[in-house]
Structure 1
């Protein structure tokens, strides 16, 4: 478990120390049995990144780390290594002169979320399904003491490690990532805020998922949930067929009224929708860092209000709740 040694030390020294009852064994099992065939290549790319001073860091819309001391050769090396970690889906990042123009403009989502989350100062924050960790850095910008990302995606993990590699030590020690799913988390009841953005509709049992998120929060903690929704009343839930917007792993898309009802049944308090908007092709699109199909290919070419399958086009809502 050398890869996670420092992160486990951070767990032991944090209010999450009881997580060590389960986490080391889970990571040991993951290292033995569940590694992606490309993971060693991805981790070699991270290990080959040059060590450079972080003279300027901005955890802003584009997460940036820069230094005046970087040569053109080092920039080319960084670009070449980071391009071996494609596709980059969540960002953007700017690392020592190399701009990673990701498929998603994740800053758009953060701009919709940030005004409603309150002050994260001093908090222990969990991001479930954190992807490459872009939003972890934004949570630190908002004052979080430590941020913890969990996601089974191993390419995402390599991307997070690549970005963290360039961060100053103080920030490296506050941002952590583990390759586990929410179903692997015990009832920690330890986080001040739990984020889950873009995950609910991928879960076969949304009620179980909401219950799992609730189990990670301390009493009085807040959940920030962002997910696909459809228009309709408390009984409206879209259950797509084989695909939704060419995604094969979409199971349930509720109306906001149905979602709030689910959350109330799960024991959340004061749940409210703070934002609802259609996803635009400016927010999700193909780039040189993600050259495959993207949102424009997933919509009906004759009617952008519908997906290619004829369902309502992606609409996303942000819900804030407490326990």
Structure 2
């Protein structure tokens, strides 16, 4: 499938589903069954800093940054509905707000060497060209700037609950575009090994500071093990991984 076809399919599905994800998986949360920013303090003091959200969704992570005192709030997202939602969510922020509707593989007019912090909360894995996207991120950051992202652990969808037990149903080592079962095969996401994310960051000029895949499981004894982010599944494999890197 060509990249343009993947973008078209994924954008269509997100336009239809945007309202369902309003406010979900946003800072201070990094993702399901993972420690939060309140525990990790990866961003540190963002007061007065320029920040860019890759895959900003409904804008709630940017609102969090604004509430922490960030001076400029920039966001990029693929879908019209998400940009519209983010515009509303951020309408009362005192900081400068600039939002762009664009694929993350393209630069829609973002300035070079401008941002203190670039981050992506459960969005980076949607890119069809990881190296191109990370190269853009690197160019947006000031020297010494920080890039933090979270995404679904690449082992997570390899493991499924069947007939009373968790079993491996897909290869972890085989990479490439796949119809995503969590979306009832209405979107295509590239499966990548964790080492691919790490090595591509290094190739693009980043220094890795932290890689986190700790599991935090809520007290939900009635949790259905067939749920996509079931806590029982998280006892076997982390749902989320988080990376902090720096542009040197």
- Deviation, 1:156, is 1.1
Match of 1:260 in 2: 198
Q: Given the superposition, is the C-alpha separation of residues 105 and 206 from structure 1 closer, same or farther in structure 2, using an over 3 Å criterion?
A: closer
3-state SS of 1:271 partner: strand
**Cα separation, 2, equivalents of 1:87 and 1:197:** 17
For residue 150 of structure 1, the aligned residue among 38, 57, 76 is 76
1:193 aligns with 2:130: no
In the superposition, the TM-score normalised over structure 2's length comes to 0.67
3-state SS of 2:87 partner: helix
- Deviation, 1:123, is 0.8
Q: Given the superposition, is the C-alpha separation of residues 314 and 240 from structure 1 closer, same or farther in structure 2, using an over 3 Å criterion?
A: farther
1:112 aligns with 2:36: yes
- Deviation, 1:220, is 0.8
Match of 2:244 in 1: 320
Q: Given the superposition, is the C-alpha separation of residues 159 and 213 from structure 1 closer, same or farther in structure 2, using an over 3 Å criterion?
A: same
For residue 107 of structure 2, the aligned residue among 184, 187, 199 is 184
Match of 2:190 in 1: 251
3-state SS of 1:259 partner: helix
Q: Which moved more, 1:235-244 or 1:111-120?
A: 235-244
Q: Comparing both chains, which one has the higher relative contact order based on Cα–Cα distances under 8 Å and sequence gaps of 6 or more? A: 2
- Deviation, 1:237, is 6.0
In the superposition, the TM-score normalised over structure 1's length comes to 0.53
CA contact (8 A) 1:228 1:315 kept: yes
Match of 2:6 in 1: none
Question: Which protein is bigger by CA-based radius of gyration?
Answer: 1
1:142-195 residue CA offsets vs partner (Å, 9 max, x unmatched): 221111111121111221222234x2xxx2553332222331345612111001
Number of paired residues?
204
Q: Given the superposition, is the C-alpha separation of residues 181 and 279 from structure 1 closer, same or farther in structure 2, using an over 3 Å criterion?
A: farther
Structure 1 unaligned runs (5+)? 1-35, 40-84, 92-102, 283-294, 307-311
For residue 209 of structure 2, the aligned residue among 266, 271, 280 is 271
**Cα separation, 2, equivalents of 1:153 and 1:215:** 23
3-state SS of 2:45 partner: coil
Match of 1:305 in 2: 233
Q: Given the superposition, is the C-alpha separation of residues 175 and 267 from structure 1 closer, same or farther in structure 2, using an over 3 Å criterion?
A: same
Structure 2 unaligned runs (5+)? 1-11, 157-171
- Deviation, 1:270, is 3.3
Q: Which has the higher helix share?
A: 1
CA contact (8 A) 1:230 1:238 kept: no
1:223-253 residue CA offsets vs partner (Å, 9 max, x unmatched): 0111122359xx9565463224235221123
RMSD of the alignment, in Å? Answer: 3.7
- Deviation, 1:108, is 3.0
3-state SS of 1:137 partner: helix
